[in-house]
Structure 1
Amino acid sequence: MYEGYLRDLLAPLGIYDLTESSVSGAAVCALGTGLDDVSDRLEEIEREALTATAEDEGLDRREALFARRPAAVTAEDRRAAIAALLQIDGDSLTPEAIDRTIRGCGIKARAIEMGDRQLRVIFPEVAGEPEGFPQIQKIILDILPCHLGVEFYFRYLTWEECEAAGYTWAQVEAAGHTWESFQLAVPPEE
């Protein structure tokens, strides 16, 4: 790229032999290659310098700023989690801001204010304890202010739902449920 640019720039002067086999032609080729390498590196640095475009090193360096690594895996989710964590400040204590921050960190949870400085964290898309809960719990407790009481709420099948669905023990056994799998057989939310 830069080699062609240098050749086009120097050709009108007529004082350089720009053929590939000449010394000045080889020098132009070497300079062009060096400038191409610098341009590629600058492009990478510019991409990694912005949270919105970072893919590797930029994300790793930003995540290292936090006590815990966000629970996100893809580059897009990691960017969103970092952006959410960077928004935490003294005005981030409303339930809506806390809820937005938790979801922004890649955790499929919601924070609900229960009153008297209590929050309930629910996992609406998961029955039972979500996969990787110990890490999720640590991240959430790091995000939330220490003066708030936090309870984690897990969704299991209730007796009322069993009665409403008309389940019998024969149906449960015929479906091959264990006690663990049956309590996670939560009907989908409508």
Structure 2
Amino acid sequence: MYEDYLKALLAPLRVYDLRPGTINGAELYALGKGFDGVSEQLDLTEREALTATAEDEGLSRREALFARRPAAFTPEERRAAIAALLQIDGDSLTPAAINRTLGGCGIRARAVEMGGGKLRVIFPEVAGVPAEFDQIQRIILDILPCHLEAEFYFRYLTWRECERAGYTWEIIEAAEHTWKSFQLAVPPET
């Protein structure tokens, strides 16, 4: 790439013999390869230096700045989590701001203000305890202001939902539910 650029730059001078196999051509080839390597390294550095474009090392270095690694796995989710965590400041105490931060961290949870300094964290898209809850709980407690009492609320099947869904013992037994699997058989919201 840079070899061609150098040749195009020097060609109008008509001083150099730029054909392949000549000393000038070999020199420009070597310089071009060196510049190509520098250019690739600069592209990589520029990409990893910006949160919006980082893919690997840049994300890892930013995540190391936080007490907990965000609950995100793909580069896109990791970028969003880092951006959300970087927005936390003294004005991040409202439930809306906390919910934006939780969502940005890849945590499918919602904070609801209960009054009296209490905050309920619910997991609306998950029945039961979410996978990797221990990690999620540590992240949430790090995000939430320390003066708020956090209560975690897990969703299980209720009798009212059983009646509404028309569950019978025959249906439950046909589905071969255990008590645990039946508790998690929450019908989708309509």
TM-score w.r.t. length of structure 2: 0.96
Per mean C-alpha deviation after superposition, the further-off stretch among 166-175 and 10-19 is: 166-175
Q: Which residue of 2 aligns with 1:63?
A: 63
Q: Which amino acid aligns with 1:131?
A: A
3-state DSSP of counterpart to 1:12: helix
Cα displacement (A) at 1:174:
2.2
Give per-residue Cα distances to partners, 1:130-168, cap 9 Å, x unaligned.
Answer: 111111111111111111100111100012222333433
Q: Which residue of 2 aligns with 1:19?
A: 19
Structure 1 segment 17-166 matched on structure 2, within 5 A = 17-166=17-166
3-state DSSP of counterpart to 1:65: coil
1:4 equivalent to 2:4? Answer: yes
3-state DSSP of counterpart to 2:152: strand
3-state DSSP of counterpart to 2:66: coil
Q: Which amino acid aligns with 1:153?
A: Y
Structure 2, unmatched stretches of 5+, are none
TM-score w.r.t. length of structure 1: 0.96
Structure 1 segment 158-177 matched on structure 2, within 5 A = 158-177=158-177
3-state DSSP of counterpart to 1:88: coil
Q: Which amino acid aligns with 1:83?
A: A
Output the CA distance in 2 between the equivalents of 1:32 and 1:3. Answer: 4
Give per-residue Cα distances to partners, 1:11-70, cap 9 Å, x unaligned.
Answer: 222222222212221111000111111111111111111111111111111111001111
Q: Count how many residue pairs are aligned between Structure 1 and Structure 2.
A: 190
Q: Which amino acid aligns with 1:86?
A: L
3-state DSSP of counterpart to 2:68: coil
Output the CA distance in 1 between the equivalents of 2:111 and 2:97. Answer: 9
Q: Which amino acid aligns with 1:55?
A: E
Q: Which amino acid aligns with 2:99?
A: D
The verdict on how the C-alpha distance between 1:10 and 1:165 changes in structure 2, with shifts beyond 3 A counting, is closer
Output the CA distance in 2 between the equivalents of 1:53 and 1:17. Answer: 42
3-state DSSP of counterpart to 2:135: helix
C-alpha RMSD over aligned residues: 1.1
Identity of aligned residues (%): 74
Q: Which residue of 2 aligns with 1:180?
A: 180
Give per-residue Cα distances to partners, 1:71-117, cap 9 Å, x unaligned.
Answer: 11111111000000000000001111001100100011101101111
Structure 1, unmatched stretches of 5+, are none
Output the CA distance in 2 between the equivalents of 1:17 and 1:175. Answer: 82
